[in-house]
Amino acid sequence: MNNIQVSKNFKLREFQCRDGSHQVVIHSELLRRLQELRNRVGRPVIINSGYRNREHNARVGGSSNSYHLRGMAADIVVAGINPGDLARVAREVGFRGIGIYRGFLHVDVRPNRAEWRG
């Protein structure tokens, strides 16, 4: 389900809610910037969490105003690149929301700049 190619390296299913509902919303800017990130690093970008519906977002402890709820955020990993180094590339490709966590990087396309460590 959702096995639709939406960019050179991403399929729609990679962004769908992880609750089994197959619901998906993806903002075009998020997709564009993730593809640019993938092009820059030259390695697969794994999306651990893309779109979240309200119920799933609450279950995983997401913020009530999370950009995941709008299809504007993704939690990602790239094998062989630590989240701090990946954050540098994310800044270069224009992500405005960047959260550096121990095992992954949160990126989003919010209107304003914000960075944090989790």
**Considering the domain 12-117, what is its CATH architecture?**
2-Layer Sandwich (3.30)
Burial (CB count <10 Å: 0-12, 13-18, 19+), residue 18: middle
pLDDT at 1: 82
> Mind listing the pLDDT tens digit for each residue in 50-68?
999 999 999 999 999 999 9
Domain boundaries, the chain: 12-117
**Confidence tier at 26 by pLDDT (50, 70, 90):** very high
Q: What is the mean pLDDT of residues 14-42?
A: 98
Write down the pTM of the prediction.
0.96
Instruction: Using alpha carbons, select from 69, 74, 71, 115 the residue that is nearest to residue 91.
Output: 115
Q: Using the predicted structure, report yes or no on whether residue 12 has a pLDDT greater than 90.
A: yes
Q: Using the predicted structure, report yes or no on whether residue 76 has a pLDDT greater than 90.
A: yes
Q: How does the average pLDDT of the chain come out, rounded?
A: 97
